[in-house]
Amino acid sequence: MAAASRPHVARKRFGQHFLSDAGIIDAIVRAIDPRPGQPVVEIGPGLAALTQPLVERLGRLTVIELDRDLAARLRQHPQLEVIESDVLKVDFAQVAQALAAPKLRVVGNLPYNISTPILFHLLGHVQAIEDQHFMLQKEVIDRMVARPATAAYGRLSVMLQWRYAMEDVLFVPPDAFEPPPRVDSAVVRMVPLAEPPAVDVALLSELVQVAFSQRRKILRHALGAWLQARGFTGSFELQRRAEEVPVQEYVALAQALLPK
């Protein structure tokens, strides 16, 4: 990549923390296991710490970068296709079509201040995605992979686990970044389920949001009233807290609420 005329200063409003630990970068690339010719899209490539080892293995790489200065730098790299955009406005199905690929592999060190919106945006494009590898705040990944009856289990756990198989694959300490964030990080692998249960996503999202709105109380209070207002006459154990209900029971309830 062509040398830049001046060093880039991390921008707080973009949540920029750049990977700088070579050992961690190598471990992330090994976890992703990119193969030549695969259609890979990197979100937030920044100073290309992860981008360069990826493109060396792939041959070509598509990157999504919001920061205008960084996008200009990245365009100097002959093997990169740069999409200068807010990732929340990117249609990943269209990107797959442009790359003549049935599905994309998506990777990135996600900006921690908007990581959850990005995850939900990608959920809406999951049909076009083969797998996802993301660096995130470790606390967020703990919530993503949490099991029922644990403090970390919540709306994010349910909304992602109904659609993905996920695992925490790597711990990343603050000193692996420049500037160091004030939190621990980790890398998560997300693989869309081949045969996910059919469900109205908007309805499931509303249901789960209501259930966890009063997570310290039993479900009879918030969710019970919500179900009653919808005329639900089926059976669902409401003498539990939201965190005690497994993902498949929330999905089954959302399915039961749809008109027959």
User: Which CATH number among 3.30.70.260, 1.10.10.60, 3.40.50.150, 3.30.10.20 corresponds to the domain 12-192?
Assistant: 3.40.50.150
**What are the two backbone dihedrals, phi and then psi, of residue 162, each rounded to the nearest 5 degrees?**
-70, -20
Q: Which of 156, 124, 146, 141 is nearest to 188 (CA)?
A: 141
113 labelled binding-site residue: no
Please write the tens of the pLDDT for every residue from 42-70: 999 988 999 999 999 999 999 999 999 99
44 is in an annotated binding site: yes
HSE (side-chain half, CA atoms, 13 Å) at 196:
21
SS3 per-residue string spanning 73-128: HHCCCCCEEEEECCHHHCCHHHHHHHCCCCCEEEEEECCHHHHHHHHHHHHCCHHH
Q: What is the mean pLDDT of residues 149-155?
A: 97
Q: How many C-beta atoms lie closer than 10 Å to residue 181's C-beta?
A: 16
Secondary structure (3-state) at 206: helix
Decide: residue 218, CB within 10 A, 0-12 exposed, 13-18 middle, 19+ buried.
middle
Amino acid at 138: K
- Under CATH, which architecture does the 201-257 domain have? Orthogonal Bundle (1.10)
* Distance of alpha carbon 247 from alpha carbon 240, whole angstroms: 14
The region, left, alpha or beta by phi > 0 then psi within -120 to 50, assigned to residue 106 is: beta
**Domain assignments of the chain as residue spans, ordered by start:** 12-192, 201-257
Q: Of 103, 107, 196, nearest to 158 (Cα)?
A: 196
Local confidence band at 14 (pLDDT 50, 70, 90 cut-offs): very low
- Does 77 count as an annotated binding residue? no
Whether the per-residue pLDDT at 258 is higher than 50: the answer is: yes
- Ligand-binding annotation for 224, yes or no, is no
Quickly state the pLDDT bin for 13 (edges 50, 70, 90). very low
Strands 104-109 vs 40-43: parallel, antiparallel or unpaired? parallel
The mean predicted confidence, pLDDT, of the chain is 92
pLDDT (tens digit per residue) in 23-32? 999 999 999 9
Known binder of ligand: residue 86? yes
Beta partners for residue 185, in sequence order: 137, 172
Cα–Cα distance, 94 to 102 (Å, whole number): 11
Helices (H), the chain: 22-32, 51-58, 68-74, 92-98, 115-123, 138-144, 155-161, 201-211, 222-229, 247-257
Judge whether 125 and 210 are in contact, CB under 8 Å. Answer: no
Q: Give residue 1's pLDDT.
A: 42
**Residue 17 known to bind ligand:** yes
